[in-house]
Structure 1
Amino acid sequence: MTNDSAAIAAAKRAAMKVAIQHASITIKVICLTLFATTVWGSTSPQSAFVYPDYREAREVYQQARKALKQKKVSRYQKLRADLDNYPLAPYLDVLFLRSQFTRNTSNSAFDDLHNRVNQWITENSTNYLTPTLRNHWLNYLAVEGHWEEFTHYYIKEEATESNRCFAAGHHIRTLTNTKSSLSDEAWLPVTALWLSPRSVSKTCDSVFARWKKSGQLTPAVAWQRYQLALNAGQHTLAKYLRSYLSKDDASLSLKLASPKRYTAFWFDAFSSNIDTLAINSNLTSDSIKRVITRLLPDHGEHLRPVLMQATIPGLTPAHHTRSVRLAAWYLLKDNPDSASDWLDDVEHQTPDVTTFQLRTAIVSKNWGRYQWLYQQASTDLQQLPEWRYWYARAQRNTGLVAQKIEERPRAIFEQLAKERHFWGFITAEAAKQAYPVGQADELTHPPSEAVVQAIMPAIELHILKRPLTSENEWTHATRDFTPAELKQAARAASHFNMHDKAFRALAGAQAWDALEQRFPLMYMEHFTKHSEKHALNPFWLLAMARQESAFSPHAQSSVGARGVLQLMPATARKVARSLQVPYSRERLSDPAYNIALGSRYLKDLLKTFDNNYVLATAAYNAGPHRVKRWLEDQPMTEDWVHWVSTIPYKETRKYVTNILTYSLIYQTRARNAEFNLADFVPPADSGLPES
């Protein structure tokens, strides 16, 4: 770095530090206002609406659950008598009924229990808990041998796997009592249960034993399940199933499991007889796609000619499209021009393929090709903000402008600069205009009694820190809401800090201008503290939390990330060690602890990537190692916006643009103008194209 560059960078860091201090002061003032009004800078009627106060009933409910768990029935019944109007009373009723499902009851006791269960199911037919109670009841009826009642209550679409097994077994026994032998058709429900990509409930063992004994487990059926298991990643089950395969299928199963070991076989199959192989061997589309996916990285030259065909026997159009895109991506890394030419020759053209072609033209900066592709694209694709932005940029770069005035760069940029999204913000900043955040649309209508009654169970479960059940209750309650009702539900959810549900409800209602509910200020004491401590843009931290967890402290991803900033336990442990604070996985659901560790990790990422917020954001989503690899393939220049559009992962591209957009919306909502998009990258990389 030259002396001049170093001086510019130092000046910018100093300015950033001052900006962070000013932003923190602004946020503190707003937080005081929030504390007084309960809504962001507003005295909206929301604060005047009074929600039911269930604090006393909530305590009684928890005591009743405890009494039921301790089998203190008389105490439970006394407590339950005071909870008729409490939203979670049905949960107690179901738990109590289930506690009565005891073995070897007398006829009179069973009749009484049957009447009570039937009454509850009838009176609560639309309740979220009804399918759960029904399934527990069915299980009890099957174990006790009450098959007439089982048949009456059985609903296949709602039944658990165990109950479907019970039903299939009863079906076979009923037929066996009337016939000496059963047809293949009679066994179809059992076959359908057995054809699972994963291990099946042990409840099915007895009916499966009869099914096998009757000769239904043929090599062809075993081959179907082998492919299902293999494609689902259930390798132990797949290996077990090989013993039931025919000799030819067993041989093919090895080639399916390890395509790279048998490349010659697959090259021959794809070049000459994939149709024969797919038909004669009953290869599924998932299996063919699996082979293609594993061979493409190292052997694309053998597969690309096959993928150019309009159709491939055995491969669905969706799988074909995915394979074409993957093939083009691997080719693009080595030779962008060849990738473009190859895609032009592919007969299997879909909007997804066109999208990929547009992306490859951006990566290679082939602006003439981009213009041509954009002009050939569907109207729906042409209207997407990113493609419009790059079409205007492409015209500027080539000097070849569109004939229609409204399609020329100036017209496109002027329109984009009015729209609230990343591409609009980029355009507005380049034109030195205010960010087009727009006017907030306050949700002024209080929730109706019917809406509050429907969502209150989910709210109470949220307060009791039962996030999964709360999520399921919310989804059930709002499934048929109108847009107006969704807005009301979102307002209530925001009031109770259930922001993930508020965001989803507002999206369902397409209430994009409800900015107070869509961009709430949460945990500001912690965000302000750590933004000052680590010299971080506080609005960036807010945006990260909104994107990662919707501010839910109990959020947990499918891969195990936890809390407000969705920290992986291994990462959290490492950061805790560096901060010399005790590590606790359980405390990751504590916002203060999670934000303290997450803020420090984000600061570490910024150091790794030379204070480049764009790269640090991408690394938080995809991992630092991937970002470093992407930079080797596509270095970030002053035109950092171009680098964002070339991020290989669609999820990460969307993540980065979301974070930058949310950051600016937050600072605009906070009436703070300390930061702009150029501040998210170091001086050498912060150039924005003129619009």
Structure 2
Amino acid sequence: MFKSRALILLYFLSALLPWQQAFAQNEKALSREQQAFLDAYDAVRANDRQAIASYKRQLKNYPLYPYILYHDYRLHLKSTPTSELERFLRNYKGTYMADQLNTRWLKLIAQKKEWQRYLKVYKPQKSTDLQCLNVQALANSKHTTEALKLAKPLWNKQIKLSSSCAPLEPLLLKHHRLSGSMIWQKIEDAMSKRQITEAKRLSKYLSNKDQASFKKWLDVYSKPSSVTELKNQKMDRHIKRVIFKQAVKRLARKDTQGAKSLLDDLSGKFYLTKGDVNELNRYVALRTAYRYAPEAKALLEEVNHNGAPTEDSLRWQAQINIKNSEWLDLLDTIDLMPAEEQNDKQWRYWKARALENTGQKTQATQIYNGLANSRSYYGFMAADRLNRAYQFNPNPVKVEKPEKLIQKYPALRRIQELMAIDWINTSQTEWRYLLPQVKRDELQAIAVLAHKWQQHPQVIRTLAIAKKWDDIQLRFPTPHKQPVMQNAEKNSLDPAWIYGIIRRESAFSESVQSSAGAVGLMQLMPSTARYIGRKIGAGKVNTSALKDPERNIQLGSAYLSYLKEKYGGNLILATAAYNAGPKRVDSWIPENGTLSADQWIDSIPFTETRNYVKAVMEYKTIFKSLLNKRYDRLSNLMTAIGQNNIARATDSQHP
């Protein structure tokens, strides 16, 4: 009886599905050609040859016609005639479809070990795997000299060889082209990347003496402080030096003082060069700086004044000066920076701040005045110091009839149609392939066209490639206005803040998913979204739901509200926590006293979060000016940071 009911229900649902699909298509009002294309795609997937042939004739002049060919050949590659593949690759050279099809075809040819054909079809490729297969084809076609010449750099390129590249190793060994120095270098690379299994595998090619040295290296890798036991042992100088350098770096991660002592006491026993000593001193100093250890300042000063300073070591010394309000020291640190770096807005602002705090107000004002003319975080901050109006410097892009480009670039017509049938991911791939091919003086017109099509991520990307920063309306759009405004009002948030977060997180890409798993417009982690969803009674939350703009904005805004409340209304701390997480931000807040907000922001340990907060504050200001025709001064948000900013929430299970 239960089984019978289940079958009836299944039949009902299967009958309902076509109606739902038809309803969705009617809602989108697809054209006859668009619907025919979708039907053709279904026919291709079903390998209905009669229907496929009919649709190919019907859609010959439709912009997405090449996609019918591409998917037909892709899915039925083994049965597709070579002549058709070659014609497709010629006709659509430079497109995503041609590149993908060519890759699949080459791999199929290699799988069949048709090496002569592979060499005939192969053209220079970016893909390392295809390059390795080309070497195999050459070697198996008696072009040994050329194969060996190409094989060596490819073998060096990957620490762990892919399946396509693995045959290169026996080829090189057979012809005695793998030297001991090549093997040692790859072992060094593997050890530095912590690919110990691969390093052990490679060590089997070493001599017995070198294998013994490698065994000692493994012992030191497990216990870095034991490197002292090697100080009087006879070993190859280079190997001994590499082992010592790695030991100091590994020890520095847990015991910086121990690493520094090791370096000072034993560098002479391990054949270190002056450059090595500078490198290791800098590494140890930076490890202390990352956690603002008391000894960091002295170690960085030693590196920057006596060794070989880098952008990182100087920046961290400056950050320590900023955090500790060491204004004279900060001026000295900035003076050590290269001229180009000193001219960066960040260091111009902090030089002015240092001058102002050491009584040199005339010089400070001069710098502030220069900065205040720019539309940027530091420009707005400088304007606040002088109580000057913010300068937004809009310069709209003026392009006549950007539609003319559609005739020149067929990809634009394909993009239009792909958007119409809701193949969004494919349309984005077409954009990525198109933009490098567009002439520089046409990029602005492409951006205007993308704006008309509401393709905001592509507008932002295109103008960035063109280095055109001053069309504010194009670079800072306000789509999804209804859910943003509704959720801003519901959560007592400034909609400009929500837009600032969206702009920084996803550049308005609705379906984007980061490598860490963050999803959608506001780049929410699913675990955080589920937690917030439970708090506000938003129902079940999954990855698919987070790609829906309205749901994403609802949950993201609720999370911003939660963070704002947690930090007593402080938007700086809430913004930092949105990026780095509340636990980290809590640990960055001074335990005693307070720190001015601009000092706190520029002493955030994480570069990503430091830049994120500044960008969101800049974007929030711009969006506010666009939404309200007025703006809030950043100085209104820059309240001092201290323990009083943390609201002692009763809910301890925050994400």
Which moves more between the two structures, 579-588 or 440-449?
440-449
2:310 to 333, 336, 350: 350
| Corresponding residue SS for 1:102 | helix
Asked if structure 1 preserves the Cα contact closer than 8 Å seen for 2:456 and 2:507, the reply is yes
Give the AA of the match of 1:622: A
Q: Distance in 2 between matches of 1:444 and 1:655?
A: 32
Which moves more between the two structures, 485-494 or 207-216?
207-216
1:301 to 260, 265, 269: 260
Q: Which has the higher contact order (CA 8 A, sep 6+)?
A: 1
What is the total number of aligned residue pairs between the two structures? 610
| Corresponding residue SS for 1:479 | helix
Closer, same or farther in 2 for the Cα pair 1:273/1:313, shift >3 Å?
farther
1:174 to 128, 131, 141: 141
Q: Equivalences for 1:623-642 in 2 at 5 Å? A: 623-632=581-590, 636-637=594-595, 639-642=596-599
Asked if structure 2 preserves the Cα contact closer than 8 Å seen for 1:458 and 1:473, the reply is yes
Q: Equivalences for 1:355-504 in 2 at 5 Å? A: 355-400=315-360, 408-450=363-405, 453-461=410-418, 466=423, 468-504=425-461
Alignment-derived partner of residue 85 in structure 2: 117
The one-character-per-residue Cα deviations of 1:28-52 (angstroms, maximum 9, x if unpaired) are xxxxxxxxxxxxxxxxxxxxxxxxx
Q: Distance in 2 between matches of 1:268 and 1:285?
A: 11
Give the AA of the match of 1:563: G
2:540 to 582, 587, 590: 582
Give the AA of the match of 2:465: G
Alignment-derived partner of residue 140 in structure 1: 108
Give the AA of the match of 2:623: Y
Which moves more between the two structures, 473-482 or 439-448?
439-448
Give the AA of the match of 1:119: R
Give the AA of the match of 2:139: I
The one-character-per-residue Cα deviations of 1:139-187 (angstroms, maximum 9, x if unpaired) are 33334454332211113424561x44443333333339xxxxx88x964
The one-character-per-residue Cα deviations of 1:488-527 (angstroms, maximum 9, x if unpaired) are 1212222233222211211122211111111100211111
Q: Distance in 2 between matches of 1:267 and 1:603?
A: 54
Contiguous gaps of at least 5 residues in structure 2: 1-28, 643-655
Q: Distance in 1 between matches of 2:448 and 2:416?
A: 12
Q: Distance in 2 between matches of 1:415 and 1:258?
A: 57
| Corresponding residue SS for 1:561 | coil
Task: State the shift of 1:445 in Å.
Answer: 3.0
Asked if structure 2 preserves the Cα contact closer than 8 Å seen for 1:308 and 1:345, the reply is no
| Corresponding residue SS for 2:223 | helix
Q: Distance in 2 between matches of 1:593 and 1:148?
A: 54
Q: Distance in 2 between matches of 1:220 and 1:555?
A: 44
Task: State the shift of 1:195 in Å.
Answer: 4.9
Closer, same or farther in 2 for the Cα pair 1:258/1:567, shift >3 Å?
farther
The one-character-per-residue Cα deviations of 1:225-264 (angstroms, maximum 9, x if unpaired) are 4444444454554555565555565566567668674233
The one-character-per-residue Cα deviations of 1:451-495 (angstroms, maximum 9, x if unpaired) are 553434345445555555444422221114333311112122222
Q: Distance in 1 between matches of 2:573 and 2:232?
A: 46
Give the AA of the match of 1:419: S
Task: State the shift of 1:343 in Å.
Answer: 3.1
Q: Distance in 1 between matches of 2:210 and 2:594?
A: 50
Q: Distance in 2 between matches of 1:446 and 1:88?
A: 24
Match status 1:57 vs 2:33 = yes
Alignment-derived partner of residue 509 in structure 2: 552
Q: Distance in 2 between matches of 1:543 and 1:72?
A: 49
Match status 1:70 vs 2:46 = yes
Q: Distance in 2 between matches of 1:263 and 1:369?
A: 35
Give the AA of the match of 1:412: I
1:653 to 600, 603, 610: 610
Q: Equivalences for 1:560-579 in 2 at 5 Å? A: 560-579=517-536
Task: State the shift of 1:367 in Å.
Answer: 1.1
The one-character-per-residue Cα deviations of 1:256-310 (angstroms, maximum 9, x if unpaired) are 66867423344677x9999x8662469599968964764664634236659999x
Q: Equivalences for 1:90-239 in 2 at 5 Å? A: 90-102=66-78, 113-159=81-127, 161=129, 163-175=130-142, 187=148, 189-190=150-151, 193-195=154-156, 197=158, 199-203=160-164, 223-234=184-195, 236-238=197-199
Q: Distance in 1 between matches of 2:245 and 2:62?
A: 49
Q: Distance in 2 between matches of 1:330 and 1:384?
A: 22
Closer, same or farther in 2 for the Cα pair 1:195/1:684, shift >3 Å?
closer
Asked if structure 2 preserves the Cα contact closer than 8 Å seen for 1:196 and 1:229, the reply is no
Identity of aligned residues (%): 25
Task: State the shift of 1:326 in Å.
Answer: 1.9
Asked if structure 1 preserves the Cα contact closer than 8 Å seen for 2:224 and 2:248, the reply is no
Alignment-derived partner of residue 64 in structure 2: 88
Closer, same or farther in 2 for the Cα pair 1:208/1:427, shift >3 Å?
closer
1:262 to 194, 204, 223: 223
TM-score (norm 1): 0.77
Give the AA of the match of 1:132: Q
Q: Distance in 2 between matches of 1:325 and 1:77?
A: 69
Q: Distance in 1 between matches of 2:212 and 2:253?
A: 19
